A and B are shown apart, each in its own frame.
Chain A
Amino acid sequence: MEPVRLSYPVEGGDFIQAGEASSKMKMTLKKLGLPADVIRKAAICMYEGEINMVIHANGGRADVEITMDQITLRMVDQGPGIPDVARAMEEGYSTAGPEVRSLGFGAGMGLPNMKRYSDELHIDTELGKGTTVIMKIKIG
């Protein structure tokens, strides 16, 4: 199978509508006939990434590549960067504000969930420049 490549803009500033890119990706993965557990993992990883981009980075872009043996999610933003990646990986640590918390997020589970459901997680971040998060989910 030739790699399938998808690309989605992630709009910033509209938290209520966040998740549109993940929803579209999930529908495409279903059409490709991938196993349900693989689809669920990829969807949760991308959704958490999308929420983070909307909360912290005023949006960005999500690129997806699907090959025979894995799904690669590449989420790129030009936000403020992550000052302390090790702390951000701790469950329960969050810098999100009260508005985000009032909507059910900002519990400090975003990056930990992305790690939990991906087989590989790479974070490349630079203060004032932005963050690129790459997640790989194995198929089979």
Chain B
Amino acid sequence: MRLSEVKEILSAQVLCGEDRMEEEVACACGSDFLSDVLAYVHEQNLLLTGMVNPQVIRTVEMTDIKCVVFVRGKRPGEDIIRMARERGIVVMASPERLYTACGLLYSKGLRGN
């Protein structure tokens, strides 16, 4: 699924990485527990989370996830966006709740792993 489709399906706003919307993601995971993200990563490309702190970007960096979507209308601060930009990570913000956001992407064909 292209990141532009993720953006559209989740009614998301792109906070950094607008120029990378044609890139593809093959699978996704959704969690607020960062240790769980670290435990079950297998080439995940997209993380959906309601957790907003710099460790989200660290976790995404360590696991080679290319895009993080903050759900429930949460907006990361400029420090978090700057961290993501420096590491080449795409950041979006969606008004959808975590369960709904995961379901919407899943129903359009973006699976977990």
| A residues apposed to B, CB below 8 Å | 15-19, 22-23, 26, 36, 40, 43-44, 47-48, 51, 91, 103-110, 112-113, 116
Main secondary structure of the interface of A (DSSP, over half): helix
Which B residues lie within 8 Å of A26 (CB)?
61-62
Which A residues lie within 8 Å of B110 (CB)?
none
Taking a contact as CB atoms under 8 Å apart, the answer to whether B34 and A104 are in contact is yes
- Chain A residue at smallest Cβ distance from B51: A104
Tell me the chain B residues, 34-79 only, with Cβ under 8 Å from chain A: 34-36, 38-39, 41, 51, 53-56, 58-59, 61-64
| B residues apposed to A, CB below 8 Å | 32-36, 38-39, 41, 51, 53-56, 58-59, 61-64
Cα(A116)–Cα(B63), bound, Å: 14
Partner of B53, one of A16, A91, A108: A16
Cα(A16)–Cα(B62), bound, Å: 16
